[in-house]
Amino acid sequence: MPNKSIDSADMHFLQLRGSTTVMKLMQQIGMQYMNEFPNIHLPLLGGGTAMGYKSAFDGTANIGMASGQIPPNIQLWAHKNKLEIEEVTIATDGLVAIVNPANPINDLTLEQLHDVFTGATNNWSSLGKYSGLINVVSHDPKLGTYEPWKRQVAGKEHITLSAKVVSNLNALMHAITSDPFAIGYVGTTFLNKEKVKPLAINGVLPTYLNIKQLRYPIRNNLQLLIKPTATKEEKDFIAYCLDPNKGQAIIKGAGLIPVVGEQ
């Protein structure tokens, strides 16, 4: 902490709100940033990607946090109200199919995964040496991980209506760890290999190198959202997150793929 006190007139509060996936990164980057710039405070609020977009559009947050693309309903609302924001990608994450460790299946094709999550395949016996009804676990559509998973796995179809819908990480982990026939998905940021088993897709595991080199097929962009009229303080923080020696180094240390300095 700095020795000299900061005049309250020089203090700036930048409210960040939205995706819990991005918020986990912002906790690390923000702590370092506030240590370097003690006149800046960065309060963080979750609420999911949809909230990140809405709060960036309506100005209830200085910076929105998003995991994945803008939800169609919020895009329509913003268009009607002639609101604009800039989407700044700060990292790439892998999205991982996870099962109970008791499940002997280790690998699915993307087509098999599609059939599981759309309900076309409903028994593990169709996928390998395992038998039992498949219990699909999906994220609440308000959460950012839902949209890129639905788009890249289910495609133009819907995730099965029989899926158990969870609204937070604890509920997801409980659903998978308590049910040997369950399958769900999570970003690599929250992947806990001691509790759940990640599946390879098309023979490719979601390792850092495989995601970076685009071999692993299911990926997601993590974004910060600002208005075109962003203040100097807001732009400076965005620049810090994109600095290869600052925010991008923290992102790499967290096991995610930086967007600067890794090409």
Q: What does the H/E/C string look like for 45-76?
A: EEECHHHHHHHHHHCCCCEEEEECCCCHHHHH
In this structure, the answer to whether residues 75 and 135 fall within a common structural domain is no
Q: Would the pLDDT of 9 be above 80?
A: no
Task: Please tell me whether residues 116 and 157 are part of one structural domain.
Answer: yes
How high is the mean pLDDT of the chain? Answer: 92
Contact (Cβ atoms closer than 8 angstroms) between residue 251 and residue 22: no
Whether residue 1 lies inside any domain: the answer is no
Question: Per-residue confidence at 68, pLDDT binned at 50, 70, 90?
Answer: confident
In degrees, to the nearest 5, what angle opens at C-alpha 226 toward C-alphas 220 and 228? 125
DSSP character string of 161-226: TTSEEESSHHHHHHHHHT-TTEEEEEEGGG--TTTSEEPEETTB---HHHHHTT-SS-EEEEEEEE
User: Is residue 185 in some structural domain?
Assistant: yes
Q: Which residue range(s) make up the domain with 63?
A: 8-92+220-258
Q: Would the pLDDT of 8 be above 80?
A: no
Distance CA 169, CA 157 (A): 25
Using CA atoms, how far apart are residues 153 and 115, in angstroms rounded to an integer? Answer: 9
Burial class (CB within 10 angstroms; exposed 0-12, middle 13-18, buried 19+) of 2: exposed
Q: Which residues pair with 146 in a beta bridge?
A: none
Has residue 226 been placed in a domain?
Answer: yes
Please check whether residues 100 and 206 belong to one and the same domain. Answer: yes
Give residue 132's Cα distance to chain centre.
Answer: 30
How many structural domains are present in the chain? 2
Cβ neighbours, 10 Å, residue 13: 10
Q: Are residues 97 and 208 in the same domain?
A: yes
**Is there a domain that residue 3 lies in?**
no
Examine the domain organization and report whether 64 and 97 are in the same domain: no
Q: Could you tell me if residue 2 is inside a domain?
A: no
Distance CA 87, CA 224 (A): 6
List pLDDT tens digits, range 98-123.
999 999 999 999 999 999 999 999 99
How distant is the alpha carbon of residue 35 from its chain centre? Answer: 26
User: Do 158 and 176 fall into the same domain?
Assistant: yes
User: Has residue 263 been placed in a domain?
Assistant: no
Say if residue 51 is in the same domain as residue 69: yes
7 — pLDDT class (breaks 50, 70, 90): low
> 36-63: b or e for each residue (b if 16 or more CB lie within 10 Å)?
ebeebebebbbbbbbbbbbbbbeeebbb
- Decide which of 175, 191, 212 is a domain's last residue: 212
d(Cα 167, Cα 153) in Å, to the nearest integer?
19
The CATH number of the domain holding residue 173 is 3.40.190.10
Residues 34 and 129 in one domain: no
Which pLDDT band holds residue 28 (cuts at 50, 70, 90)?
very high
19 in any annotated domain: yes
Read off the pLDDT of each residue in 44-53 and give the average, rounded to a whole number: 92
Asked if pLDDT for residue 3 goes beyond 60, the answer is no
Domain shared by 67 and 177, yes or no: no
Q: Which residue has the tokens 């995991």?
A: 67
pLDDT one-digit tens code per residue, 179-230:
999 999 999 988 988 999 999 999 999 999 999 999 999 999 999 999 999 9
Say if residue 97 is in the same domain as residue 177.
yes
Report in angstroms the alpha-carbon separations of 202 from 90, 140, 211, 224: 27, 26, 13, 31
pTM attached to this predicted model: 0.85
Q: What region does 48 belong to: left with phi over 0, alpha with psi -120 to 50, or beta?
A: left
Structural domain includes residue 248: yes
- Residues 252 and 190 reside in one and the same domain: no
Of the candidates 40, 33, 63, 64, the one whose C-alpha atom is nearest the C-alpha of residue 50 is 64
Q: Answer yes or no: do 207 and 241 share one domain.
A: no
**Side chain identity at 22, as an amino acid letter?**
V
